[in-house]
Amino acid sequence: MTTSSREQPPYLRIVDDIRARIDSGQLRPGDRVPSTRQIIDEWGVAMATATKALATLRQNGLVHAVPGTGTIVSDPTTSGRRPARHRQARPTTEPATTQQRIVHAAIRIADREGRSAVSMRRVAAELGVGAMSLYRHVPDKDELIRLMADTAFGESPLPQPRRRGWRPRLEELARLQWYTYRRHPWLAPVALTSLARPPVLPSGMAHVDWQIAALAGLGLHQRDVLQIVVSLNGYVGGIAMSHSMENEYLHEVGITSQQRHDSNEPMLLELMRSGRFPHLASIAYSDVEIDLDKLFEFGLQRQLDGIQNFLTAHAK
């Protein structure tokens, strides 16, 4: 080992070692690279270092995460690292680059590989165009992310107004939002950067306007109407945030939430048997499991029950 390699941060030495295996053909496209646990064992580093090494490899386009499989070597013929000898001439009828194509390409990347995989260069590679050409339509990545979120919320049309009460209407839109978050796991952290001062998303504003209309005619103060809508949307997005974090963890580390749970199970069982958490242990040993969709439905009904109680008290 040279002096310069010893002076490198540990995660960069790991990156260089795995890159050398890829360049030499020892690891080929589609092969799994060492997981965080294997990196910890092989290089003797901490979890944070192993995670950073995999994240750097992914950011460099060398690897990508595949749900249920782990982190695998990317195919250079289909990624932004494509060597010149593999490049194919672009068809003369290549579709024009538009803001819509850019945004939809970015959404496809985020759906497959997580929001952190989205960059102007990565989107350009997805479209087969030069990165600089994107800036004529989108000024920077922050605006691209905003446009992605706005487009995602606008994919499904708002329900048609019907002569129904406020509860089934709010319930219907909450489910629409939930399905949107589930379809795009990266969306919740973007839309929920702030409940009080959310990002400007016209399609999201349309959701709020629709919800306010559903509460019209109930004699509520405008402040109460807005707080009902924002708190309900915060609940839906908050539950969706769990799915988003699981998805991002998988893309960053290459480990599913189930795999992480399995690795932590011995410690969890030890804590449950310690007697420190008797009430939690009694439930844990009953084989009760949390399903995110069922949890959403349970919590949604309790949210609506709370709104109903508020309206009843307000009417007295």
> For residue 243, what is the domain's CATH number?
1.10.357.10
Q: In terms of domains, do 111 and 142 share one? A: yes
Model pLDDT for residues 229-275, shown as the tens digit of each residue? 999 999 999 999 888 777 776 666 666 667 776 777 788 888 878 88
**pTM for the complete prediction?**
0.66
Q: Do 74 and 98 fall within a single domain?
A: no
Same domain, 149 and 171: no
| Separation of alpha carbons 299 and 178, rounded Å | 12
4-8, 18-22, 272-276, 287-291, range with the lowest pLDDT:
4-8
Stretch 43-62: mean pLDDT: 81
User: What is the C-alpha separation between 143 and 91, in angstroms, rounded?
Assistant: 29
CATH number for the domain harbouring residue 70: 1.10.10.10
On whether both 217 and 304 belong to a single domain, the answer is yes
* pLDDT at 83 exceeding the cut of 60: no
CATH number of residue 107's parent domain? 1.10.10.60
In a domain, 311, yes or no: yes
In a domain, 6, yes or no: yes
pLDDT at 292: 86
One domain, residues 19 and 69? yes
Q: Is residue 265 part of a domain?
A: no
Residue 68 phi, psi dihedral angles, 5° rounding: 80, -10
- The mean pLDDT value for 209-223 works out to 93
11: left (phi over 0), alpha (psi -120 to 50) or beta: alpha
Same domain membership, residue 52 and residue 2: yes
In terms of residue numbers, what domain contains 62? Answer: 1-78
Same domain, 293 and 218: yes
Print burial letters for 72-82: b (CB count within 10 Å at least 16), e (below 16). Answer: bbbeeeebbeb
Q: Does 87 fall in a domain?
A: no
How do strand 63-66 and strand 70-73 relate by DSSP bridges? Answer: antiparallel
What's the total number of domains in the chain?
Answer: 3
The reply to whether 224 and 308 lie within a common domain is yes
Instruction: Note whether 28 and 229 are within 8 A (CB).
Output: no
Average pLDDT of the chain is 83
137, part of any domain: yes
Instruction: Indicate the residue among 129, 153, 177 that finishes a domain.
Output: 153
**Percent of the chain at pLDDT exceeding 90:** 38
pLDDT of residue 267: 83
Residue of 79, 78, 80, 120 whose CA lies nearest to 102: 120
DSSP per-residue letters across 234-271: HHHHHHHHHHHHHHHHHHHHS--HHHHHHHHHHHHHHH
